[in-house]
C-alpha cells in the first residue's frame, strides 16, 4: 500500500470518528441536552478584569543542569482599557532535585501557610513546570490582594492541577470567596473526551453543537452530570464549556470554584462584553494581553543562553567544554548553526 492510499484511509477513519452528521449521537452519548446550552448576553462591567499567565523557556536542558527562564504575572483591564501589567516573577530556575524542596517551600509557607511540598520520584522531570505553576499561583494571590469585591480574575489554564499544589489552590479559592472576587480558569487547549468506543474531542464537538443550537450567540454549558472524561476533578469546582463571543467559532474550557456555582451566568455575561476584540476575537481580551506581555520570546531565551555561556567561560570553562556540554545531538543532526 502506498502512502497516499494509506493517508486516504486514515482520512476516512478520522472523518467517521470526528465529524458529526448532526448532533444526535453527541447528545445521546454525552447526556447533553439542547436546553443545557445557556445563552449569554454580553453585559457592561465597570470593575477590573485581571488575567494571570506564566511562561517558561528552557535555556539549557542537561540532566545535570536543567535551566529555565520563568516568568509570571498578570494584566489588568478596566473595560477596554489596559491599565497595567504586573510581573511577579521573572528569573532563571535550576531544576535540581536536591534543591527543589528549598525552592518551593519558602513560597508555599509565606504566601499560603503551607508546609513541605512532597515530590514523588516521577514528578522530578517536570520540576520547572511545577515551579512555573507555583509562580502563577503567587501571581493570582498578588492579583487577589489588588482586586476589589466584584472584580474578575482569569487564570490561563485549568484548576485540575498537580496534586502537591492542590493545597495552594484551596487557599486561593478561600481568599477569592472571602473577598467576593470571581476566579475562573480559561484553558486554550483541553483534554476532555466523550464517546463510548473511541475518545472524541469534547470541546470541539460542543462548539459545533452550540453553533447549531444557538447560532451567532455566546453561551455556556455545565459539565455537571455529563458523561465526559474531564480529568480527576477533585479540585472543588465545576467545569464549563464557554463560547465568549457570538461571532467566533471557538469555545473554551472554563473552570470555576464551587462558590461561583450560582453566579457563573452573570460572571460570563461580563466577560462576554470584553471578549470580542479585533486583536483576538472570541477570547477574553485581558488573557490575550497577559499572554503577550508575559511570554518569554525566543530571542530572550537565546540571549539568556548566551549570557549563561559567557558566564561559564568567564569562570574558566573552555569553549570546547561548554560546547560539548551544551550541544544537543539534535542540533548536530539538524545542522543548526551556532554553539
Partner 1 sequence: MRAEEREKKVAIKQENIQPSGAESLLNRKVIEERDTTYRIVSKNVSEYHFIVPFDLSEEERVEVGQIFSIKDQGLTFLARAVNIEHSSNYDGHWDTTMKGTQFFDSDQIFNRVSAEPLGCINRKLEFKKSRTLPTKFAPVARAEREEFRFLSQVMGDIEVGYLRNGSRLVEEIQVALHSEVMDHHMGVFATTGMGKSNFMKVFAASCMRLAARGQSKFGLLIVDPHGEYLKGKGPVKGLTHLKRYREGLACYSTNRQNASDPGVEELAISESEIFPEDIALLYEWSPPQRDALEAVSRIFDPASWLEEIKSPEGMVRMMQEGFKDSTVNVLVRRIKNELERNPYIRKRSSLANILANLQKGKVVLVDIPRMSDRSELFLLSVISRYILDEYKKDEKEGGESRKNCLITIEEAQRVLGSGSNISRFESIAREGRKFGVGLCAITQQPKLIDKQLLSQFNTLVVMGLGDRNDRRQLEESAKQDLTSMDIEIQTLEKGEAVVSTLNIPFPVPARIHRYEDYLRRLDKEDKQESLIARGGFKPFLD
Number of neighbours of residue 75 by Cβ within 10 angstroms: 26
Size of the site for partner 1 (CB under 8 A): 37
- Per rule CB under 8 A, is residue 80 in the interface with partner 1? yes
In angstroms, what CA-CA distances link 314 with 61, 137, 318? 21, 36, 9
Residue spans of beta strands (DSSP E) within 159-308: 182-187, 193-194, 200-201, 218-222, 237-243, 252-257
Are 326 and 338 in contact by the 8 Å Cβ rule? The answer is no
Closest alpha carbon to 181 in 158, 153, 155, 156: 153
Among 25, 83, 175, 179, binds partner 1 (CB under 8 A): 83
- Per rule CB under 8 A, is residue 88 in the interface with partner 1? yes
Comparing CB distances to partner 1, the nearer of 164 and 284 is: 284
User: Closest distance between partner 1 and the C-beta of residue 14, in Å?
Assistant: 25
Residue window 156-195: x/- pattern of binding to partner 1, with contact defined by CB under 8 A? ----------------------------------------
Are 227 and 247 in contact by the 8 Å Cβ rule? The answer is no
- Per rule CB under 8 A, is residue 62 in the interface with partner 1? no
Which range binds partner 1 by CB under 8 A, 14-22, 101-109, 112-120, 124-132?
Answer: 101-109
- Per rule CB under 8 A, is residue 86 in the interface with partner 1? yes
Comparing CB distances to partner 1, the nearer of 27 and 103 is: 103
Residues 6+ apart with CB under 8 A from 1: none
Beta strand pairing status for 182-187 and 152-156? parallel
Which range binds partner 1 by CB under 8 A, 8-16, 117-125, 170-178, 287-295?
Answer: 287-295
What does the block give as the cell for 286?
A: 485581558
Residue window 24-53: x/- pattern of binding to partner 1, with contact defined by CB under 8 A? ------------------------------
Are 106 and 71 in contact by the 8 Å Cβ rule? The answer is no
Which range binds partner 1 by CB under 8 A, 35-43, 118-126, 170-178, 281-289?
Answer: 281-289
What does the block give as the cell for 127?
A: 520540576
* Alpha carbon distance, N-terminus to C-terminus of the chain: 43
- Per rule CB under 8 A, is residue 278 in the interface with partner 1? yes
- Per rule CB under 8 A, is residue 281 in the interface with partner 1? yes
What does the block give as the cell for 256?
A: 470555576
Residues lying near partner 1 in the complex (CB under 8 A) are found at 73, 77, 80-90, 94, 96, 98-99, 102-103, 106-107, 110-111, 138, 142, 247-248, 274, 276-279, 281, 285, 289, 292-293
Amino acid at each position: 500500500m502506498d502512502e497516499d492510499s494509506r493517508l486516504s484511509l486514515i482520512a476516512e477513519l478520522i472523518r467517521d470518528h470526528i465529524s458529526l452528521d448532526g448532533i444526535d449521537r453527541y447528545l445521546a452519548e454525552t447526556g447533553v441536552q439542547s436546553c443545557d446550552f445557556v445563552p449569554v448576553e454580553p453585559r457592561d462591567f465597570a470593575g477590573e478584569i485581571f488575567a494571570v499567565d506564566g511562561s517558561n523557556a528552557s535555556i539549557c536542558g542537561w540532566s545535570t543542569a536543567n535551566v529555565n527562564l520563568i516568568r509570571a504575572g498578570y494584566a489588568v483591564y478596566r473595560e477596554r482599557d489596559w491599565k497595567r501589567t504586573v510581573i511577579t516573577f521573572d528569573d532563571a530556575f535550576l531544576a535540581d532535585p536536591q534543591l527543589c524542596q528549598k525552592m518551593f517551600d519558602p513560597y508555599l509557607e509565606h504566601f499560603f501557610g503551607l508546609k513541605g511540598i512532597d515530590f514523588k520520584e516521577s514528578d522530578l522531570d517536570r520540576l520547572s513546570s511545577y515551579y512555573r505553576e507555583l509562580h502563577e499561583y503567587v501571581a493570582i494571590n498578588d492579583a487577589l490582594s489588588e482586586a476589589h469585591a466584584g472584580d474578575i480574575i482569569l487564570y490561563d489554564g485549568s484548576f485540575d492541577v498537580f496534586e502537591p499544589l492542590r493545597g495552594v489552590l484551596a487557599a486561593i479559592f478561600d481568599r477569592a470567596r472571602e473577598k467576593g472576587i470571581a476566579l475562573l480558569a480559561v484553558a486554550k487547549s483541553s483534554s476532555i473526551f466523550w464517546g463510548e468506543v473511541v475518545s472524541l474531542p469534547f470541546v470541539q464537538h460542543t462548539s459545533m453543537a452550540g453553533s447549531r443550537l444557538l447560532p451567532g450567540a455566546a453561551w455556556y454549558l455545565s459539565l455537571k452530570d455529563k458523561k465526559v472524561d474531564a480529568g480527576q476533578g477533585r479540585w472543588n469546582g465545576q467545569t464549563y464549556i464557554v463560547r465568549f463571543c457570538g461571532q467566533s467559532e471557538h469555545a473554551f474550557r472554563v473552570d470555576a470554584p464551587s462558590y461561583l456555582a450560582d453566579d457563573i451566568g452573570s460572571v460570563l455575561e461580563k466577560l462576554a462584553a470584553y471578549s470580542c476584540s479585533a486583536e483576538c476575537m472570541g477570547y477574553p481580551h485581558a488573557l490575550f494581553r497577559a499572554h503577550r506581555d508575559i511570554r518569554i520570546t525566543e530571542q530572550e531565551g537565546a540571549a539568556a543562553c548566551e549570557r549563561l555561556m559567557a558566564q561559564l567561560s568567564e569562570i574558566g570553562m573552555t569553549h570546547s567544554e561548554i560546547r560539548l556540554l551544551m550541544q544537543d545531538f539534535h542540533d548536530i543532526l539538524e545542522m543548526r548553526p551556532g554553539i
